[in-house]
Amino acid sequence: MIELRDFTFTYNGAVKPALQDVNLAIEGGEFVLITGPSGGGKSTLCRCFNGLVPHFYGGTVGGKAEVQGMDILRTPPKELAMKVGMVFQDPENQLVTSDVEREIAFGLENLGFPVNLIARRVEEALDTVNIAGLRFRRHHELSGGEKQKVAIASVLALHPDVLVLDEPTSELDPQSAEEVLRLLERLNDELGITVVLVEHRLDRVVHLVDRIIVMNEGGIRTDGRPREVMKNDGLGPGTPPVIRLMQRLREKGLEFDELPLTVKEARLKLQKALGKVNTTRPADEHAAKDPVMNIDRMWFSYGDRTALRDISMTVNRGEFIAVMGRNASGKTTLVKHFNGLLRPGKGRITLDGVDTSRYSVDELSRWIGYVFQNPNDHLFADTVEEEVAFSLKNRGVAPEEIEKSVERMLQRFKLTEYRKSYPRSLSGGEKQRLALASVLVTGPRIIVLDEPTRGMDFALKQELTGFLTDYCRDGNAVVMVTHDVETVAECADRVVLLSEGRVVVDGSRREALSKALLFSPQVNRLAQALSSYGVADTTLTVDEMLGQIT
Amino acid sequence: MMRELRYRDRDTVIHRLNPVVKLVWGIGLVVLSLLFSHPVYLVALLAVILIMIRLAGIWREWTPVLKLCLWLGVSIIIINALVSYHGDHVLAEAPFTLPVLGQPVITLEAIAYGAVMAVKLTIIISAFTFINLTVHPDDIMSVLLKMKLPYKSVLVTSLSTRFIPCLIDDAQRINDAYRTRGALPSTGNWFSRIKRQAGIIIPLLSSSLDRAIQVAEAMEARAFGTGQNRTYYKNVVLSGFDWLILVCVLLPLVAGILIRVFGYGDYEYFPVLQSIHFEGVPFILLGILLMLLLSVIPLAFIQRRVEFD
């Protein structure tokens, strides 16, 4: 179906090739997962399957690339569009028209299909993706997940043999992501469409795919069936928790025939193999509560829609708080009140006992740092150095003082070598570090982060949470809005769960995440099922679990 | 406000009218308001567009537009009164003279002229708001294509309107980030504040460019611009009855031109306001014009009956 031989591609003006000597053959009907660290060449590889590389993004090409026997270099993108459909990361930016039906018809219209055939294909596509109910909706009336389904339908209408998706779920909440992945499984299963999926959330897909390809530094590092890849630890630290647990147990001498990929498989394996369980209920040390911010009976509404209802909560020094909840449950609205970007309609917020309503955003931001989801939104200056100094300069700090602080931050966030670089030319991880440095430079006591791990690969997530836990240890508080249960299980002290603008749960991560149906990490789902064998049902992480199984 | 001005499907007789009809009617009204300078004619035209807005059920969305028009109107009246020194009825005199312009005076005529300009502007803005809120943007595109405008230009226009709300969101977010970095202190004079505000332009431009590239990529991946004869899935088709209504909405335009040709509907503001002498022929002509303009309403109701049967 797709064949690359010694394929090398260098973007115009780039020093290093984005893809180097890639050899790859994808068979018809396969479900292939491509993963690996950001900047490893995954997106470039995807884009060469449908000719966007090199026809849209110019560059130097070496080697050969064929799709169904057609050389991608010689075939115009028009013909490739009918063979290979492509779905992109951002649901907003791939919808071109303004309603669902027209969107699905767009590609067919471009190819000059007769109107009666378009009508038929639109019907088919709507039914295949199961969005017939949305047909007359306009794009701004759709949720992110629905938009992504429309994008898939609009590509399916062209009857492609291959569907390529570049991180289609990274902008979605977990439930919508799950729905999109289910849809892909069905398309592959029932219609035999070859699916090539780039994805970071491996725990949701490893069991669905036939093959995993790990890319790094422009080349294929690992390529094989999921179980083989896992057996040889091909994913490294990015391996889903349950599989990591089973790998470790096998190292410790527990015998089982093949490596399980899902919670269910692991459960069945462990039920048979589980010997002695040493039930030590994992416990967290409880630091003395030392409140820094207090929110008292706060209400807020946007026009006539009430977004927050009677919220009371406290933020303590040295505490890592995760704010979780469905989309539109009020998470972002809540944290925007912390530094005055929004003001309570009713109720009061105090910082060290002082009412914050007296202070402007500018004044509050000295004590409360705010990191937005997209690090690009933080970049205003011409060099990395100036970017870090920006907040201090705005506040009229003395030059010598600024220089010292900037130096400290550059070192701490490993940015010294880029000090003269243009911030926007940095890689994703470097930008995230710069955004953090530029916010932390003023030494805020609370730092608020809005979905910082969205679309991040595992290594970047680890780096970020590492910085944040260090920051907490210095007696500061971290408040992180997130959907990412696994990250919360690893590092948060407390979880505040919102629903319809109310606090539904406010407690330790163990109370909030264990014994929950939806918001529980993989390892806990396993532990709950094995509780009759003596495993503590409050177990959250791989290490805690390993401590109990001997 | 931008969000409220987005088209939404509604089930009113006006929304059911053919998009071509609404476009022609709305643009016709704009042309008429430019043709006439007689205050009675203009006030009558304003009344007509208000009736249509009411019938289309978009009154609530239109009120912020009215506010904007009032602001603009008041500023037009003030500016016109301050810079136009024609007219004989002097209400106030400045105690000094300006080079070139002479002695500044405020005249009744200049104020009246400004007021009528404000009414004209309100009619024009309201007419476009009416089109914007009652015609599906993709239908506007189809109509423009039917008029043989090049596809790519029409698509670019519709794409840019589609991404305006995204741009507003981006600007809001970047501005928030900028504020949290202490870049927009609540102190300082207005000039330095405007200068500081300009700092969000680069990040905003750069996020728009990223967006543009992503959109282009998504279009390319769905065979856009392949040079083949493009087909159109949804076309605006005119039924027999639509043609009838279309002729009816063209009539007021013809009538208006004739009225002007015969020298009615004009009005002298300077040097002295002409008396609003309004009976006999001009009165009858205005009546006919209004009837023709509003004839679209009964026709729309009849059309709905016909469709239901």
Q: What is the pLDDT of residue A252?
A: 84
- B42 and B130 fall within a common domain: yes
- B51 and B116 fall within a common domain: yes
Bridge partners, A321 (sequence order): A479, A494
- B262 and B128 fall within a common domain: yes
- B27 and B111 fall within a common domain: yes
At residue B2 the predicted structure's pLDDT band, cuts being 50, 70 and 90, is low
- A223 and A98 fall within a common domain: yes
* Alpha-carbon span A108 to A113, nearest angstrom: 6
Phi/psi of residue B138, nearest 5 degrees? -70, -30
State which residues form the domain around B65.
13-136+238-308
Work out the widest C-alpha separation in chain B, in whole angstroms.
74
- A259 and A323 fall within a common domain: no
Q: What is the pLDDT of residue A310?
A: 94
Examine residue A224 and state whether it is found in any structural domain, yes or no. Answer: yes
State which residues form the domain around A311.
291-519
At residue B3 the predicted structure's pLDDT band, cuts being 50, 70 and 90, is low
Examine residue B231 and state whether it is found in any structural domain, yes or no. Answer: no
The answer to whether residue A328 scores a pLDDT higher than 60 is yes
Examine residue B204 and state whether it is found in any structural domain, yes or no. Answer: yes
* Alpha-carbon span A288 to A445, nearest angstrom: 17
- B130 and B245 fall within a common domain: yes
Q: B45-96 pLDDT, tens per residue?
A: 999 999 999 999 999 989 999 999 999 999 999 999 988 888 888 888 888 8
Q: Which residue has the tokens 């240890």?
A: A473
- Helices (H) and strands (E) in chain A — how many of each? 20, 20
- B85 and B175 fall within a common domain: no
Helix H or strand E encompassing A271: helix A263-273
Q: What is the pLDDT of residue A396?
A: 86
Q: What is the pLDDT of residue A66?
A: 92
For residue B140, give both structure tokens. Answer: 């506007």
For residue A337, give both structure tokens. Answer: 């009140």
* Alpha-carbon span A548 to A281, nearest angstrom: 8
Examine residue B181 and state whether it is found in any structural domain, yes or no. Answer: yes
Examine residue A230 and state whether it is found in any structural domain, yes or no. Answer: yes
Q: Mention every residue, 6+ apart, whose C-beta is less than 8 A from residue A331.
A: A323, A324, A325, A481, A498
Which of A110, A137, A360 to mutate: most B Cβ within 10 Å? A110
Among the residue ranges A364-373, B93-102, B108-117, B213-222, the one predicted with the least confidence is B93-102
- B131 and B168 fall within a common domain: no
Q: What is the pLDDT of residue B308?
A: 64
Task: State the average pLDDT for chain B.
Answer: 88
* Alpha-carbon span B150 to B142, nearest angstrom: 11
CATH (domain of A19): 3.40.50.300
- B132 and B202 fall within a common domain: no
> Do A248 and A548 touch, CB atoms closer than 8 A?
no
- A544 and A463 fall within a common domain: no
At residue B164 the predicted structure's pLDDT band, cuts being 50, 70 and 90, is confident
Q: How far is A67 from chain B (nearest CA, A)?
A: 15
* Alpha-carbon span A72 to A61, nearest angstrom: 11
Mean pLDDT score, A505-528:
86
On chain A, the residues whose CB falls within 8 A of the CB of B224 are: 96, 106, 110
Of the residues B225, B254, B271, the one at which a domain ends: B225
At residue B191 the predicted structure's pLDDT band, cuts being 50, 70 and 90, is confident
Task: State the average pLDDT for chain A.
Answer: 90
> Do B110 and B81 touch, CB atoms closer than 8 A?
yes
On chain A, the residues whose CB falls within 8 A of the CB of B186 are: 360, 362
Q: Mention every residue, 6+ apart, whose C-beta is less than 8 A from residue A508.
A: A284, A286, A493, A494, A495
The residue with greater pLDDT, B75 or A514, is B75
- A299 and A409 fall within a common domain: yes
On chain A, the residues whose CB falls within 8 A of the CB of B6 are: 140
Are residues A118 and B233, on separate chains, in Cβ contact within 8 Å?
A: yes
- B207 and B99 fall within a common domain: no
Nearest chain B Cα to A46, which residue? Answer: B221
Q: What is the pLDDT of residue B152?
A: 86
Helix H or strand E encompassing A52: helix A52-55
Strands (DSSP E) found in B79-177: 90-93, 105-107
* Alpha-carbon span A522 to A197, nearest angstrom: 22
The answer to whether residue B179 scores a pLDDT higher than 60 is yes
Q: What is the pLDDT of residue A287?
A: 66
The answer to whether residue A300 scores a pLDDT higher than 90 is yes
Are residues A77 and B173, on separate chains, in Cβ contact within 8 Å?
A: no
Q: What is the pLDDT of residue B1?
A: 53
Examine residue A279 and state whether it is found in any structural domain, yes or no. Answer: no
**How big is the CA angle at A247 (ends A455 and A530), to the nearest 5 degrees?**
90
- B72 and B25 fall within a common domain: yes
* Alpha-carbon span A319 to A478, nearest angstrom: 6
* Alpha-carbon span A512 to A489, nearest angstrom: 10
- For residue A354, the SS3 value is strand
Long-range contacts of A397-403 (CB under 8 A, 24+ apart): none
CB contact, 8 Å: A115 with chain B?
yes
Are residues A81 and B221, on separate chains, in Cβ contact within 8 Å?
A: yes
Examine residue A313 and state whether it is found in any structural domain, yes or no. Answer: yes
For residue A399, give both structure tokens. Answer: 């030059």
- A113 and A23 fall within a common domain: yes
What is the dihedral angle through the alpha carbons of B31, B157, B229, B23, rounded to the nearest 10 degrees?
A: -30
The answer to whether residue A519 scores a pLDDT higher than 90 is no
Q: A123-177 pLDDT, tens per residue?
A: 999 999 999 999 988 888 899 999 999 999 999 999 999 999 999 998 888 889 9
> Do A197 and A207 touch, CB atoms closer than 8 A?
no
Compare CB distances from B230 to A109, A151, A394 and report the shortest one's residue.
A109
Q: DSSP string of A74-113? A: TS-HHHHHHHEEEE-S-SGGG--SSBHHHHHHHHHHHTT-
Are residues B223 and A110, on separate chains, in Cβ contact within 8 Å?
A: yes
Are residues A86 and B165, on separate chains, in Cβ contact within 8 Å?
A: no
- A298 and A186 fall within a common domain: no
B125 Rama sector, left if φ>0, alpha if ψ -120 to 50, beta otherwise = alpha
Examine residue A284 and state whether it is found in any structural domain, yes or no. Answer: no
Helix H or strand E encompassing B113: helix B108-134
Helices B137-146 & B19-35, crossing angle to 10 degrees? 80
Chain A, window 351-390: residues with a beta carbon less than 8 angstroms from a chain B beta carbon: 360-362, 365-366, 369-370, 372, 374, 376-380, 390
For residue B42, give both structure tokens. Answer: 């203009």
* Alpha-carbon span B201 to A338, nearest angstrom: 26
- A227 and A185 fall within a common domain: yes
Q: A55-107 pLDDT, tens per residue?
A: 888 899 999 999 988 999 888 887 888 899 999 999 889 999 888 999 999 99
Q: A14-54 pLDDT, tens per residue?
A: 889 999 999 999 999 999 999 988 888 999 999 999 899 89
Examine residue B155 and state whether it is found in any structural domain, yes or no. Answer: no
Bridge partners, A165 (sequence order): A87, A197
- A17 and A121 fall within a common domain: yes
- B36 and B118 fall within a common domain: yes
Q: What is the pLDDT of residue A163?
A: 96
- B60 and B208 fall within a common domain: no
* Alpha-carbon span A139 to A153, nearest angstrom: 14
Total domains present in chain A: 3
Q: Please count the CA atoms within 13 angstroms of the CA of A129 that sit on its side-chain side.
A: 28
Q: How far is B18 from chain A (nearest CA, A)?
A: 17
Compare CB distances from A377 to B166, B177, B186 and report the shortest one's residue.
B177
- A470 and A348 fall within a common domain: yes
Examine residue B153 and state whether it is found in any structural domain, yes or no. Answer: no
Q: How far is B74 from chain A (nearest CA, A)?
A: 28
The answer to whether residue A401 scores a pLDDT higher than 60 is yes
CB contact, 8 Å: A456 with chain B?
no
* Alpha-carbon span A186 to A195, nearest angstrom: 11
Examine residue A149 and state whether it is found in any structural domain, yes or no. Answer: yes
- A148 and A229 fall within a common domain: yes
- A72 and A202 fall within a common domain: yes
Examine residue B62 and state whether it is found in any structural domain, yes or no. Answer: yes
- A123 and A174 fall within a common domain: yes
Total domains present in chain B: 2
Bridge partners, A505 (sequence order): A497
Q: A207-244 pLDDT, tens per residue?
A: 999 999 999 999 999 999 999 998 888 787 788 999 99
Examine residue A195 and state whether it is found in any structural domain, yes or no. Answer: yes
